[in-house]
Amino acid sequence: MLNHGECMEALLLAYGLEWLNLIVRWLHLITGIAWIGASFYFVWLDNTIRPPLPGSDLAAKGVAGELWAVHGGGFYNPQKYLVAPQQLPSELHWFKWEAYWTWLSGFALLVIVYYFNASAMMIDKSVADINTWQAVAIGIGTLLVGWIVYDLLCRSGLGRHDFWFGIVMFAFIVAVGYLLSKWLSGRAAYIHVGAMMGTMMVGNVLMLIIPGQRRMVDAMLAGRTPDAIHGQKAKQRSVHNNYFTLPVLFIMISNHYAMTYSHAYNWLVLALIMAAGVLIRHFFNLRHKGRVEWRYPAAGVAMLLAVAVAIAPKPPAPTAASADFGRVQAIVGQRCAGCHAAQPSQPGFAAAPAGVLLDTPQSIRQNAARIYQQAVQLRVMPPGNITAITDDERAALGSWYAGGAQ
């Protein structure tokens, strides 16, 4: 039993972590918007610019394409050079810190939310009986191995064949998702697939795109003609990042949707949703080039509908006798209210998750459907079953809900 001072210290620590979570998550969202927005804009720009007329001044300057745009009351005329301008401008803007800070804030969130509380957020004893250090090692190892495999594939002969590279890379990511689903909780497996892809994306910026651009600038400063290969490699990695974006964005919000990561075939659910995102992104990339091919978004939407139907919850089976509410209240009080209370007693929680309170008879009845879905159907609550709720107790909650939640 903790004394008053120890309880206060634990509460302040949990409260501090909650604020740290909020600030870092806010930063991650802001920098992610900046990075993804820049990525989407430049891919659109590459796909939309039109080559100058032969013999024109722009063609003589080495401009590969240009376009006119209007935004915020002003007219813009961006131009892209085949390799580089004849003279390096005095001021050159680099797009890199959005990527770096998105990854740094995202990894910080992994540490705050998952690694500091691995027993609750990463471990599910019904999936694999591992300890916290093993779970964290699997998580970090996934990021490292993912980047190494991806980079080696890019540098191999396969990297010169975009379609087959995409197929092999997608198969690799799905395989990682499958393996993680056998080691970690579904929620942790999903987030680490996303973190692995995010690491590939920022690795492209840090290890190839920016260094290649620096070599081109250095060549111009030295009076040499830049090697176009650096720009070509950077463009390839930038396009990869573009296709990674929608799957990563889904994974970023997936923790709010236990129906996906809690499914028995959660890795397959993730694979289909990621494939739908890639197909939808491909549609927009083609559209920016002037090609409208509705088969791609149609296939993506069909995949999403198929997933929605496949994982749809089944209604509770009718029951002749409903569990006594007194027993239900005792189960909820022992297994759920440690987190879902005005003043949580579970270490690591300063406030009730999602603001859901289950510490009074009224609040239990108000949240009957949520209790049934999360604890009985999806079995994702308590997270990692940290309070050791039994199958009999889950069945009692189910019979109470099926009997009208009286």
Does residue 24 lie in a domain region? no
Q: Is the pLDDT assigned to residue 100 strictly greater than 90?
A: yes
Same-domain status, 236 and 302: yes
Does residue 31 lie in a domain region? no
Return the pLDDT at 191: 97
Same-domain status, 286 and 349: no
Same-domain status, 341 and 281: no
Q: Is the pLDDT assigned to residue 143 strictly greater than 90?
A: yes
Lowest mean pLDDT among 66-80, 178-192, 347-361: 347-361
Domain that holds residue 352: 325-402
Same-domain status, 66 and 111: no
Q: Is the pLDDT assigned to residue 368 strictly greater than 90?
A: no
Return the pLDDT at 170: 97
**Confidence class of residue 338 from pLDDT cuts 50, 70 and 90?**
confident
The predicted model gives 113-139 an average pLDDT of 92
The predicted model gives 388-393 an average pLDDT of 86
**Confidence class of residue 317 from pLDDT cuts 50, 70 and 90?**
low
Return the pLDDT at 1: 47
Number of domains making up the chain = 3
Does residue 21 lie in a domain region? no
Same-domain status, 286 and 242: yes
Same-domain status, 136 and 209: yes
Q: Is the pLDDT assigned to residue 177 strictly greater than 80?
A: yes
Task: Could you list the beta-strand ranges (E) of 18-123.
Answer: 63-66, 69-71, 74-76, 79-81
Same-domain status, 388 and 274: no
pLDDT tens digits for range 74-96: 999 999 987 888 888 888 888 89
Same-domain status, 394 and 347: yes
Same-domain status, 185 and 255: yes
Work out the mean pLDDT of the chain and round it to a whole number: 88
Same-domain status, 130 and 271: yes
The predicted model gives 176-188 an average pLDDT of 96
Same-domain status, 365 and 245: no
Q: Is the pLDDT assigned to residue 63 strictly greater than 50?
A: yes
Same-domain status, 159 and 218: yes
pTM: 0.85
Comparison of pLDDT for 350 and 24, the residue scoring more: 24
